[in-house]
Homo-oligomer: A and B are copies of this chain.
């Protein structure tokens, strides 16, 4: 299952060119970018692409996990720098959804549009881990309503992914997501920011 490192130098170079082209294409238009175009940009035939990566999912797994992990790490870092559990969770969700709004590939990744891309799936899994922690803390501090579960937050983020990929785009969705999240806090620590 794991792709072996090519023995020949030209093959290694081709793989590298394919990775570069794939990354560019995926980030530009999403994980459903045509493989033929990727091969063309890499200066190679599609057959070569399939030789190296087997399937679209293989190619996705070869280039996306690193990028997605980086993005999520940055978001987690920014969130964890906040002072309260509520602020941490709120910041995390807001920044992740910001990502989904601008990057189709991120949406595809988060909503597991290609479930066979297991490595990418694992990276996104870590994301839900972070959410669970942040939710646990926000529950303990009493800021997050008990009726709002970690699964709810995960669903909310997934929904952002679905919206980010839907065409034609309907800009209003962001407000709805923000509102759903805003409704999650208890009256206690509430300073509801106006939408």
Contacts and interface: CB of A to CB of B under 8 A. Distances in A.
Interface of A: 111-113, 115, 147-148, 151-152, 154-156, 158-159, 161-163, 165-168, 170, 172-173, 175-177, 179-180, 182-184, 194-195
What number of copies of this chain does the assembly contain?
A: 2
B175 A152 contact: yes
Contacts of A155: 170, 172-173, 175-176
A11 B151 CA distance: 54
A76 B180 CA distance: 25
Contact of A162 (B112, B173, B194): B173
A73 B40 CA distance: 51
Contacts of A113: 167-168
Interface of A is mostly: helix
Contacts of A184: 179
Given A159-B163, A163-B159, A176 B170 contact: no
A114 to B, nearest CB: 10
Contacts of A147: 194-195
Contact of A166 (B165, B168, B176, B182): B165
Contact of A180 (B148, B162, B165, B176): B176
Contact of A158 (B112, B152, B173, B182): B173
